[in-house]
Chains A and B, each alone.
Chain A
C-alpha cells in the first residue's frame, strides 16, 4: 500500500476545487450567454439569432455575375446577407431585393452595421447565366453580388445551411417553370458562422432593426 502524501492530497483537492469552480463559472457563462441570446431573440421583430456553432458556411465554388469564381474565402472578413432565389421569380425575389435596396444604405451608414455585403444566390443555374445575373442584380443595386453554380454545387451549399428549394413545372409552358424556395435572408459573420435569419415578409424597417440588434450582440 502506498503511503498517502498530504501535500499530494491537498493538491488534488485544490485541483478538484479549481476544476469544479471552473466548470461552475463556465456553466454560469454559458447560462448567461443562453439568457442573453434568449433576450436578443425576444427583442427581434421578424428574425432569429443563432448560437455559435449552429451552422457554418461550407466550402463552395460559385460563379459570380462577372463570370469569376466566388468561394467561401471571399465571404470571410465581412458580414454577408445572403438570399436564395432566381431571376424569373415573380414575387418574393424582386420584393426582397427591392427591400434590401432600401435597407442597405442605412446599414452601410451606421458604423455598427458597416462592412455588410448582399449576396443573391440563384438556385436556377440552368437559366441564370452570369450575363442574366449581372443585368438583374445591377437593376437593384450595383453593389449587390450575385452568383450561381451547377445544380450539385447549389444543392450541397443550400442543404448545409438549411435553405430549401424545389423546381415546380408549369403545365402551360415548360420553359416557364417556377421554383419554390426559402424566403429568409441568412446572416453570416466574418468567420462564416451563421448568426441569424431574417424572416419574410421582409420590410426595410424590420431588416434594419433586427440586423442592427444581431450585430450589436455579436460585434
Chain B
C-alpha cells in the first residue's frame, strides 16, 4: 500500500517535473518537421517545419541543437533579383497564437557536421532554446525534392 502510494506520489511528482518542460516553451509545437536527406558527400542539410505558438506571448527561439549534427544555425533564404541569399538569423520568432513556417526558400534550420549517416525515415532529435525554457521535438528524414508542405 505504502509502496503503491509512493509510486503514485512519485508518478505525480514526475508529471509535475515534466509539466514545465512541456509547457514552458510550452505553448510551442512543431508540425511536419523534416530533415532533408543529405546527398552523399554533402556536409550540410536543412530542416523544415511549422512552429506553432498556442500562447498569448510571442516566443523567440534563440538557439537550436541536435545530437545528430555538430552545429545547427537558424537561416533564412531570401531571393534578391533571382539570387538566393542565405541570411543567418539571431532567432526564430513564433508569434503569439500564430506560427512560423520553416520551408524551402525561406526560414529553415541549417544543419552542419552530421555526426552519423542519416537515412530516409530516421528521426532526428532537436532542442530549441527560448527565453522561457527549452522545447524538444523530432523531425523525420525525407528525400530531397519532396519538401513541399
Contact = CB atoms under 8 A, between A and B. Distances in A.
A198 to B, nearest CB: 11
Nearest to A92: B84
A135 B46 contact: no
Contacts of A102: 145
A56 interface: no
Given A102-B145, A132-B41, A136-B42, A91 B82 contact: no
A11 interface: no
B54 interface: no
The residue in B36, B83, B85, B105 that gathers the most chain A C-beta atoms within 10 A of its C-beta is: B83
B107 to A, nearest CB: 10
Interface in A122-163: 131-132, 135-136, 138-140
B145 to A, nearest CB: 2
Contacts of B84: 91-92, 180-183, 200
Interface residues on A, range: 35 or more
Nearest to B47: A90
Interface stretch (B21-29, B73-81, B115-123): B73-81
A68 interface: no
B146 interface: yes
A131 B108 CA distance: 28
A176 B112 contact: yes
Interface of B: 36, 39-46, 71, 73, 75, 77, 79, 82-86, 104-105, 108, 110-113, 143-147
Given A88-B43, A95-B147, A97-B144, 8 more contacts: A87-B39, A101-B145, A132-B41, A136-B40, A136-B42, A176-B44, A182-B82, A183-B83
